[in-house]
Structure 1
Amino acid sequence: MKYIALLRGINVGGNRKVEMKKLRTLLESLGYTEVSTYINSGNIIFESEDDKKTVLLKIQKAFEITFDFEIPTLVKTENEMKKIANAIPRGWQNDATQKTDVAYLFPEADSKKIIEELPLKKEFLEIRYIKGAIIWNIKRENLSKSQLTKLISHKLYKGMTIRNVNTARFLAGEKE
């Protein structure tokens, strides 16, 4: 089965540095195949015969042994990633006029109610829930009005890992 591991909070602002080559080698040492990484922000695509729960436990244990800091990790199947990517309207892009992101949700945060709890001014953005993620699109001119930047200080922020729409589509197997 094809899996995608999403690592939260690595290689951000020069902190919690993790080399992608080291990640690939580590996952290969666990017996996973076809291991590849996408950009430097903790996206690993690989194949395994293990079930999703076993994959997550093996990866977490290996990270704990290998790195001196916790790496919150979310494991999704290729099908889960495709369902999320397919829920993104085709017109939602990242360009000069708009910004689209996907917040993949850890199990403790995965609820439709999360949208109501976030400190966002929803009149300035479109936001949708799909099992496993929330997706938003905003006109760049409304970024500051939406209070999207306040998300980082909200308690639910630790229950998600965010990727831009291009990364989300790539990880789901969509080629441009």
Structure 2
Amino acid sequence: MKYIALFRGINVGGNRKVEMKKLKILFESLGFTEVFTYINSGNIIFESEFDTKKVFSKIQTCLEKNFDFEIPTLLKTEKEMKKIAAMIPEEWQNDDNQKTDVAYLFAEADSKKIIEDLPLKKEFLEILYCKGALIWNIKRENVNKSQLAKLISHKLYQSMTIRNVNTARFLAGEKK
């Protein structure tokens, strides 16, 4: 089965550095195959014959042994990633006029109710919930008005890991 591991909060602002080459080697040492990393923010695509629970356990144990800080990890199957990517309207892009992001949700935040709990001015953005993720699109001219920047200081921010729409589509196998 093909899996995608999403790591939260690594290699941001020079902190919590994790070398992607090392991570790839660690994943291969766990018996995972077809391992490759995608951009430095912590995305690994790989295959394993093990079920999701076993794969996640192996990853957590490995990370705890090899790094002196916690690395929150979301593990998604290729099918889950494709389902999330399919929810993104095709016209939602990242370009000079608009910005689209996917916030992959950890279990404790995975509810449609999360939209109500976020400190966003929803009249300035479009936001969708699907199991496992929030997807939003905003005109670049409205980014500050939407208070999207306040998300970083909100308690729920710790329960998500955000990727831009291009990365989300790539990880789902839509763009190579």
Task: Give the TM bin, normalised by the shorter chain.
Answer: over 0.9
Query: What residue number does 1:109 align with?
Result: 109
Aligned mates of 2:71, 2:84 — CA distance in 1: 23
TM-score by length of 1: 0.99
Q: Percent identity?
A: 80
User: SS in structure 1 opposite 2:99?
Assistant: strand
Equivalent position amino acid for 2:100 in 1: T
Shift of 1:129: 0.1
Query: What residue number does 2:134 align with?
Result: 134
Shift of 1:53: 1.2
Q: Deviations over 1:31-73 (max 9, x none)?
A: 0000000000100000001111111111011000000100000
Superposition CA RMSD, Å: 0.6
Query: What residue number does 1:80 align with?
Result: 80
List alignment gaps of at least 5 residues for structure 2. none
Equivalent position amino acid for 1:105 in 2: L
Shift of 1:20: 0.5
Matched, 1:153 2:146: no
When the two structures are aligned, how many residues end up with a matched partner? 176
Equivalent position amino acid for 2:26 in 1: L
Aligned mates of 2:57, 2:8 — CA distance in 1: 16
Query: What residue number does 2:69 align with?
Result: 69
Shift of 1:150: 0.3
Displaced runs of 4 or more, over 6 A: none
Aligned mates of 1:168, 1:149 — CA distance in 2: 20
User: SS in structure 1 opposite 2:6?
Assistant: strand
Equivalent position amino acid for 1:106 in 2: F
Aligned mates of 1:144, 1:175 — CA distance in 2: 30
TM-score by length of 2: 0.99
Superposition map of 1:115-130 within 5 A: 115-130=115-130
Aligned mates of 1:117, 1:175 — CA distance in 2: 32
Aligned mates of 1:55, 1:127 — CA distance in 2: 31
